[in-house]
């Protein structure tokens, strides 16, 4: 697909004085553009549909991406994701000859941790990454943009930015899933917020409150947060597994205690904690109601939120309302592998769950309400799948997330 008459990228940074970069690609198609190389920029992946990934080598930080979308010769419908499939723009339609500008903020990170002082306990100098992490675009030294649908891209402008961050700590239902058909609400949330706040998704498939600490993911979050940021905390799916004895947390004693430790660590740094109840699994009874598998953990989150005076996002409640509204016949279309997976969403289901969260953020957290662009969502009356198409990412090897 044609990219337009030019693809220009300018990189400026006021805080680290990064050199400006200008790339003029004329009217080249993705197939004619240079492949990405370490320390440079270019096309990372290509797809016969015209979709492509474009990467730029950058240090970790917050970046404002401003896109000029459109083409003088043809119409387009451009969906944009960044890093590991975080949705930012959905179906931006441009007529032939029309140019539009869109802007959003992206959090870029790597796995490095600061060195510890002499004599301090040594836990390692980086987050513990597995093969799936290393294959993703979430932990490398670059910013990756994914252009999908019928992309028409005339220009890209990237510059360093400063904004409040919404850090996400959680499991596979929150994490940046590497490949289709698995998608989390954390990957859809950026599209529902304005361009003055940025989502920093540190969640991990299979994670528990314990393992998130042991794998140094919480340490990474705590090294990046600043006073005024937000920490959204959602665990439960894996914490409840007694067959995982090293990470099991009972809902009455240890699970609430770990939640309180996360809250305390956030507050000590001037960060605002937010508790999120886990979405329920899609298991219907004979009467068309969702079976309870996480109720004790959701109740514990509600209790801790009330006792600690922390904002509560009750996704467990809204996920049940969404699934029961869709019913046993339609709700499988909101889950991966054509509904064979009862825990992990696809793009459509993740969008519904993220929309429920965005609505509650708007209604319950006044400081964040101005940033919420999507707020008129009713979990009892969700849009049907055909009314909410979301361009799929470029096909990669499928790999089911850890956890269930």
Structure tokens at 352: 């519904």
CA angle 127–131–132, rounded 5-degree value: 90
Does 172 qualify as catalytic in the annotation? yes
Active site (annotated) includes residue 136: no
Residues 3 and 154 sit within 8 Å (Cβ to Cβ): yes
Whole-angstrom distance, CA of residue 136 vs CA of residue 62 = 19
Q: How far apart are CA 95 and CA 315, in angstroms?
A: 38
Distance set, CA 208 to CA 183, 203, 205, 235 (Å): 19, 10, 9, 6
Q: Which of 159, 308, 324, 337 is catalytic?
A: 337
Q: Which of 202, 237, 272, 344 is catalytic?
A: 344
Token pair 């499991």 in the structure block, residue = 171
* Number of residues in the chain: 404
Q: 336 CB contacts (<8 Å, ≥6 apart)?
A: 181, 182, 183, 344, 345, 346
Catalytic site residue 60?
Answer: no
Q: Chain centroid to CA 240: how far?
A: 24
How far, CA to CA in Å, does 94 sit from each of 29, 56, 101, 147, 348? 18, 25, 11, 14, 23
Distance, in Å, from the CA atom of 230 to the CA atom of 261, rounded to the nearest integer, reads: 15
Report whether the peptide linkage leading into residue 181 is cis, meaning its omega lies within 30 degrees of zero: yes
Residues 353/279, Cβ–Cβ less than 8 Å: yes
58 vs 70: CA distance, rounded Å: 26
**Active site residue: 84, 172, 205, 393, which one?**
172
Active site residues per annotation: 172, 337, 344
């Amino acid at each position: 697909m044609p990219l337009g008459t030019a693809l220009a990228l300018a990189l400026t940074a006021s805080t680290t004085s990064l050199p400006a970069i200008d790339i003029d690609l004329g009217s080249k198609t993705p197939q004619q553009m240079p492949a990405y190389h370490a320390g440079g920029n270019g096309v990372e992946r290509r797809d016969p549909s015209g979709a492509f990934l474009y990467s730029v080598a950058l240090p970790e930080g917050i970046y404002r991406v401003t896109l000029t979308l459109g083409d003088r010769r043809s119409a387009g419908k451009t969906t944009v994701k960044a890093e590991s499939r975080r949705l930012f723009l959905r179906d931006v339609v441009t007529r032939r000859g029309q140019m539009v500008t869109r802007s959003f903020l992206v959090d870029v990170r790597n796995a490095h941790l600061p060195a510890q002082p002499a004599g301090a306990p040594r836990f390692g100098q980086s987050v513990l990454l597995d093969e799936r992490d290393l294959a993703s675009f979430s932990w490398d030294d670059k910013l990756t943009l994914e252009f999908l649908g019928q992309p028409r891209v005339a220009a890209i402008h990237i510059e360093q930015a400063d904004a409040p961050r919404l850090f996400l700590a959680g499991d596979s239902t929150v994490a940046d899933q590497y490949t289709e058909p698995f998608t989390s609400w954390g990957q859809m949330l950026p599209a529902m917020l304005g361009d003055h706040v940025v989502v920093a998704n540190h969640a991990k498939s299979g994670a528990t409150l314990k393992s998130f600490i042991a794998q140094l993911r919480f340490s990474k979050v705590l090294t990046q947060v600043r006073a005024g940021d937000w920490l959204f905390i959602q665990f439960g799916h894996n914490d409840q597994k007694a067959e995982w004895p090293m990470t099991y947390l009972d809902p009455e004693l240890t699970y609430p205690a770990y939640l309180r430790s996360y809250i305390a660590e956030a507050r000590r740094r001037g960060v605002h904690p937010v508790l999120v109840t886990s979405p329920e699994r899609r298991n219907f009874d004979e009467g068309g109601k969702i079976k309870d598998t996480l109720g004790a953990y959701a109740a514990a989150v509600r209790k801790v939120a009330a006792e600690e005076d922390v904002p509560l996002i009750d996704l467990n409640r809204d996920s049940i309302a969404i699934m029961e509204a869709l019913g046993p016949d339609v709700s499988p279309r909101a889950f991966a592998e054509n509904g064979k997976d009862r825990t992990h969403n696809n793009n459509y289901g993740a969008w519904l769950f993220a929309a429920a969260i965005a609505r509650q953020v708007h209604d319950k957290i006044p400081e964040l309400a101005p940033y919420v662009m999507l707020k008129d969502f009713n979990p009892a009356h969700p849009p049907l799948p055909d009314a909410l198409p979301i361009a799929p990412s470029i096909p990669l090897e499928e790999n089911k997330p850890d956890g269930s």
